[in-house]
């Protein structure tokens, strides 16, 4: 399923029981996707992007990713709405202090951006780095998502 949002076109995918992908680039239509889950996900994402929702309550699943990546994604899911942390903070949280670059790669491969809030991870110097690849467009999306959550965000808040 695809839909237009304030961020541009967003594509969604699901299996029979859970949301499995959110993408800023086209996804192939999954004929087995649970349409109710896709509609609920769309509705909740639209609410989130309008600043009307702070949490999601749709079932999701990681159908891709190594054990390490999934561990990182679970840590990302714990970052509170409107707060940020650094890649080093995530490394410390999962007790892998030397894995900062690998955590950046895991963020880049996050199959459920927005829902699993990789946009809340910023450089330890407080600068926006990496999102949806490393393009300027990706950083613009990250900035938009952070602004939705906390328009006054000036400093890093650790979770």
Q: How far apart are CA 119 and CA 147, in angstroms?
A: 11
Both tokens of 37, joined, read: 């889950």
User: Active site residue: 37, 58, 118, 146, which one?
Assistant: 118
Half-sphere exposure of 74 (CA within 13 A, CB side): 11
Helices (H) and strands (E) in the chain, counts: 5, 5
Residue 118 annotated among the catalytic residues of the structure = yes
127: number of Cβ within 10 Å: 9
Q: Is 42 helix (H, G, I), strand (E, B) or coil?
A: helix
Q: How far apart are CA 1 and CA 9, in angstroms?
A: 10
Both tokens of 131, joined, read: 């999102």
- Give catalytic residue positions: 118
């Amino acid at each position: 399923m695809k839909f237009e949002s304030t961020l541009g076109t967003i594509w969604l995918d699901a299996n029979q029981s859970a949301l499995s992908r959110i993408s800023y680039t086209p996804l192939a239509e999954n004929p087995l996707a649970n349409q109710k889950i896709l509609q609920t996900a769309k509705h909740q994402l639209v609410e989130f992007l309008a600043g009307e929702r702070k949490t999601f309550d749709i079932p999701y699943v990681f159908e891709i990713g190594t054990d390490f990546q999934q561990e990182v994604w679970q840590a990302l899911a714990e970052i509170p709405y409107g707060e940020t942390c650094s890649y080093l903070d995530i490394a410390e949280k999962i007790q892998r202090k030397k894995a900062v670059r690998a955590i950046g790669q895991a963020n880049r491969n996050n199959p459920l951006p927005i829902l699993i809030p990789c946009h809340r991870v910023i450089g330890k110097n407080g600068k926006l780095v990496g999102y949806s690849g490393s393009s300027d467009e990706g950083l613009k999306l990250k900035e938009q998502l952070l602004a939705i959550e906390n328009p006054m965000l000036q400093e890093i808040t650790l979770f």
